[in-house]
C-alpha cells in the first residue's frame, strides 16, 4: 500500500532530523552550519524598531545593564572601573564596568544577593532611580562615579538603559526567594517554553551547552544555580544574541518559565 503524504513527510522529517543528532541524542552541528549573525539577526540584536514600544525599550536597556560590552560588540575597557572597591580583588578589568556587577541581577546591590560572594562590593542598588525622570538618570550614568561616555554606550542605548532603570525595575523577591525557590506555575511555564524557548534550547533544554561535554551547563543547570540571573534573562533576553525577551508579558509568566526551567536536566 502506498504511503500517505503525511507519512512520507514524517519519514523525510525524521531522516533529516536524525542526520544531525549524535549518539548522545543531542543536536550536533557541522562546522559549516555554524555562522556569524546574519544581517537581519544583527539588526534584531543591535538595531531598533522605527517606533519602539516601551516594553522593547525596557528589554534593550536591561541588556545594556546586563552586559553593554557584549550587547554592542565592544572590546570594553581594559582597566578596572575607578568605583570598584579595592576590597574586592576577585574581579577586575571590563567585568567591573557592567552595571549588574555592582548592582546585581536583583538590582539590590549590597542589600541583595551581591551582599556576599565574589561580586560583593558594598555598593547600593538602583531602586532609588525607579520612577525618576529618564533624562536625569541619563546624566547620572555619565557623571561621577559611573563615568560612562557615549563613545562607550551610544546615546540611544544609554537612553534605553535609563528607561529600564526608571520603568523596568521589579521586586524579584515576589518571585524568587532568598533561597532560590521560585513562585511560579511550571505547567504554564512548560507551555511557554515548549512553544518559544525550545526553538533554541530544545524541548528538554539541552540543545545549548555553555559548559563542557563532560561537565555541561544547560538551562536547567543555570535555573537551579542562579535563578535570579535566569529570571532576568527570561524577562529581557541575553546580550549579543537573538534570544527572545518576555518583557511584553507579565512578570508572573517569567516566573512560570523559570519554575519549569528548574525541572529540566542539569547534567
Phi, psi of 48 (to 5 degrees): -155, 155
Residues 115 and 201 in one domain: no
Residues 159 and 211 in one domain: no
Per-residue confidence (pLDDT) for residue 56, from 0 to 100:
98
Residues 65 and 164 in one domain: yes
Per-residue confidence (pLDDT) for residue 18, from 0 to 100:
39
24 within a domain of the structure (yes/no)? no
User: Structural domain of residue 69, as residue ranges?
Assistant: 52-169
Local confidence band at 36 (pLDDT 50, 70, 90 cut-offs): confident
Distance of CA 19 to the CA centre of its chain: 31
Please tell me what DSSP assigns to residue 204. T
Tens of pLDDT along 99-136? 999 999 999 999 999 999 999 999 999 999 999 999 99
Beta bridge pairs of residue 176: 182
> What is the largest distance, in Å, between two alpha-carbon atoms of the chain?
78
Report d(CA 259, CA 96) in Å as an integer: 30
40 within a domain of the structure (yes/no)? no
Is residue 5's pLDDT more than 50? no
Residues 164 and 193 in one domain: no
Residues 209 and 164 in one domain: no
Residues 138 and 201 in one domain: no
13 within a domain of the structure (yes/no)? no
Q: For residue 36, which of 219, 242, 211 has the smallest C-alpha distance? A: 242
Cβ within 8 Å of residue 245, ≥6 positions away: 59, 62, 235, 236, 237
Three cell numbers, residue 42? 544583527
223 within a domain of the structure (yes/no)? yes
Question: Stretch 141-164: mean pLDDT, rounded?
Answer: 98
243 within a domain of the structure (yes/no)? yes
Q: How many domains are contained in the chain?
A: 2
Higher pLDDT, 203 or 2: 203
On whether the CB atoms of residues 195 and 96 are closer than 8 A, the answer is: no
User: Rounded to two decimals, what is the model's pTM?
Assistant: 0.86
Tens of pLDDT along 227-250? 999 999 999 999 999 999 999 999
Local confidence band at 16 (pLDDT 50, 70, 90 cut-offs): very low
Q: Which of 134, 169, 204 is the last residue of a domain?
A: 169
Per-residue confidence (pLDDT) for residue 9, from 0 to 100:
41
Residues 71 and 150 in one domain: yes
27 within a domain of the structure (yes/no)? no
Residues 153 and 216 in one domain: no
Residues 75 and 161 in one domain: yes
Residues 165 and 91 in one domain: yes
Report d(CA 22, CA 28) in Å as an integer: 6
Residues 62 and 159 in one domain: yes
Q: Which of 119, 136, 169 is the last residue of a domain?
A: 169
Is residue 10's pLDDT more than 70? no
Tens of pLDDT along 64-106? 999 999 999 999 999 999 999 999 999 999 999 999 999 999 9
Residues 118 and 193 in one domain: no
Would you tell me the crossing angle of helices 155-167 and 54-71 to the nearest 10 degrees? Answer: 120
CATH number at residue 234: 1.10.760.10
Across all residues in the chain, what is the average pLDDT? 89
78 within a domain of the structure (yes/no)? yes
31 within a domain of the structure (yes/no)? no
Please tell me what DSSP assigns to residue 35. -
Amino acid at each position: 500500500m502506498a504511503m500517505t503524504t503525511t507519512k512520507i513527510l514524517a519519514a523525510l522529517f525524521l531522516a533529516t532530523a536524525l542526520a544531525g543528532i549524535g549518539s548522545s541524542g543531542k543536536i550536533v552541528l557541522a562546522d559549516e552550519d555554524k555562522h556569524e549573525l546574519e544581517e537581519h539577526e544583527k539588526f534584531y540584536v543591535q538595531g531598533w524598531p522605527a517606533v519602539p514600544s516601551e516594553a522593547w525599550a525596557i528589554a534593550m536597556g536591561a541588556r545594556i545593564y546586563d552586559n553593554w560590552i557584549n550587547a554592542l560588540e565592544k572590546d570594553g575597557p581594559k582597566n578596572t572601573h575607578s568605583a570598584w572597591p579595592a576590597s574586592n580583588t576577585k574581579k577586575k578589568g571590563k567585568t567591573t564596568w557592567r552595571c549588574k556587577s555592582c548592582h546585581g541581577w536583583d538590582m539590590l546591590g549590597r542589600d541583595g544577593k551581591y551582599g556576599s560572594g565574589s561580586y560583593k562590593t558594598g555598593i547600593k542598588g538602583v531602586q532609588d532611580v525607579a520612577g525618576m525622570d529618564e533624562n536625569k538618570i541619563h546624566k547620572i550614568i555619565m557623571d561621577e562615579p559611573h563615568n560612562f561616555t557615549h563613545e562607550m554606550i551610544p546615546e540611544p542605548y544609554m537612553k534605553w538603559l535609563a528607561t529600564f532603570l526608571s520603568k523596568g525595575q521589579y521586586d524579584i523577591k515576589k518571585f524568587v526567594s532568598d533561597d532560590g525557590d521560585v513562585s511560579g506555575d511550571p505547567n504554564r511555564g512548560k507551555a511557554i517554553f515548549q512553544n518559544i524557548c525550545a526553538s533554541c534550547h530544545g524541548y528538554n533544554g539541552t540543545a545549548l551547552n555553555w559548559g563542557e561535554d563532560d561537565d555541561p551547563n544547560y538551562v536547567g543547570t543555570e535555573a537551579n544555580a542562579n535563578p535570579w540571573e535566569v529570571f532576568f534573562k527570561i524577562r529581557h533576553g541575553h546580550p549579543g544574541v537573538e534570544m527572545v525577551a518576555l518583557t511584553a508579558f507579565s512578570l508572573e509568566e517569567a516566573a512560570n518559565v523559570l519554575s519549569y526551567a528548574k525541572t529540566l536536566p542539569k547534567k
